[in-house]
Amino acid sequence: MLNSVNVLRRLLALIAAAVLLAGTDTSTSTALAQSARLELGRRLQRFENAWESASEERRTAAVNPLKTAVSSFFSLRLAEAGRQLDQAWVAVRGPADPPSTLEQSVIGLQLLPEPICADVSHAGLKIQLKPFYETESPQPLTAALLLAIHDSAGKVLADTSIPLNLALEGTTWDLPPLPPGDHSLRAGLHDGSVSFTMPSSTISRIPDLTARIDHLQRLTKSTASDTDDLRQSVLQATLKSTAATAVALQQGRLQETDYPIFDRLSLCEQLTATSAAPDLLLQHSRSRDLWLTLARGNKAVPTRIRAPRESSGPLPVLFVFHGAGGSENMFFETYGAGRTIREAVNRGWLVVSPGQGLLGLALDVPDLLNALEPWFPIDRSRVMLLGHSMGAAQVIRQMQRHPETAIAAVALGGGGRFSTRQPPSAAWFVAAGEEDFGRSGARQLHQSLLGAGLSSTWREYPDVEHLAIVQAAIPAVFQFLDDTLAKR
């Protein structure tokens, strides 16, 4: 009974976190949740970059704060989750890189520039540092906040220095109008010879912003959303989601990631032009990430995609499914600071990251492949699935419903019993951390696969918890995927 109660409590926490952290609306609570997602993602990425080059000893030292960060997230103590991610970052760096007094004082701060999205005619930028969580050390008021805005080529468009006490109160940076584009605002705190680098932010300036958003919105209203034309379904859904994101950014509602909304609006406008090249999306996704809403009729799935820089012929497809409270952006920015995506595109694969809610995907993988096919040269005989936690459960669900869809299935940090009347021919890789609360489910999956006579490789990683399992398993996962493809 006690175990059942604990499972129920964990399920309720997952539901609450997913409800709070999924979707976008105009409420204040959602805006705060989106802001928290943005901060947590940045702090997780910072930790993962340090974890990548850390020794086994230092990685082990980060296990306990990571476990606390995960439990804090699922109990909606988001500020505490951020604090524990930072503690894990300090732990993984070790005594060779101890935090300075400045870092101890300001590590809990977040930078809030405003507006992050505006017309090119807008001058000035409001700047404020606010605590994401409180620190015990007092802020050194002699420090200064150094800011610089860079364009996409790295050229400095403007820079300034603001005293820390003024940045904490909030001030306006009196800079001239910025040129059109998605620019990078880089920030750092300096106190004498000591410095602390903060995460960068995207600042977008767009000519005729309101008129261009209105134009996209009119286009989505002028075409039926239940069309049987898959290409039109995807186009209309993408125009709609892009316009909604632009409106949210224009209204100052922080999103969970730094969207390059100038680039996204421009791409939508190109897609609606009659002269748009058939391979426009493929060419675009070779050099940068692509946000596409895959759709069939009224069902839509927000998706982030990247293609290899160079390729010829049909592309193998790797689907990556995030865990609870995550989104289509998570594999691109965390789970090893985006290493999964880099490994895949370096192999010449198309990477597709669908966003899923608590109840799963709005479209199954075959439907997603159908929606992709008008836009990308995909090889349906070389489809692979990879999922973490709730995403691992999604891999199971897809393989049970559509056993011949994929040739390889990877479940990390989660699982459960696998059963199907038509056993798939796919090879499986199942893994969990020794300190991973998803270990029992993952082991159950592996054993049920073997019991069904299927091919399954099991790996358990010592001193690894739930959040770090993807990053820890990346080398073995891609060796498994390489070997599976080589046999086809």
Rounded CA-CA distance 482/405 in Å is 18
Give the tens place of pLDDT for each residue, 211-224.
999 999 998 876 55
Rounded CA-CA distance 413/72 in Å is 18
Looking at residue 379, what is its pLDDT? 97
Rounded CA-CA distance 268/219 in Å is 11
Q: Which residue has the higher pLDDT, 57 or 277?
A: 57
What mean pLDDT comes out for the span 189-204? 95
What mean pLDDT comes out for the span 114-131? 95
Domains of the chain in start order, with CATH, are 2-98 (no CATH), 109-204 (2.60.40.1220), 208-289 (no CATH), 307-486 (3.40.50.1820)
pLDDT at 247 over 90: yes
Joined tokens for residue 110: 């977040």
pLDDT at 355 over 90: yes
Reported confidence tier of residue 103, pLDDT bands at 50, 70, 90:
very high
Residue position matching structure tokens 């997952």: 14
pLDDT at 1 over 50: no
**For 142-156, 262-276, 435-449, which range has the lowest pLDDT when averaged over its residues?**
262-276
| Closest C-alpha among 431, 382, 425, 385 to residue 409 | 385
Looking at residue 423, what is its pLDDT? 67
Looking at residue 21, what is its pLDDT? 39
Rounded CA-CA distance 355/37 in Å is 15
Looking at residue 220, what is its pLDDT? 84
Give the tens place of pLDDT for each residue, 310-339.
988 999 999 999 999 899 999 999 999 999
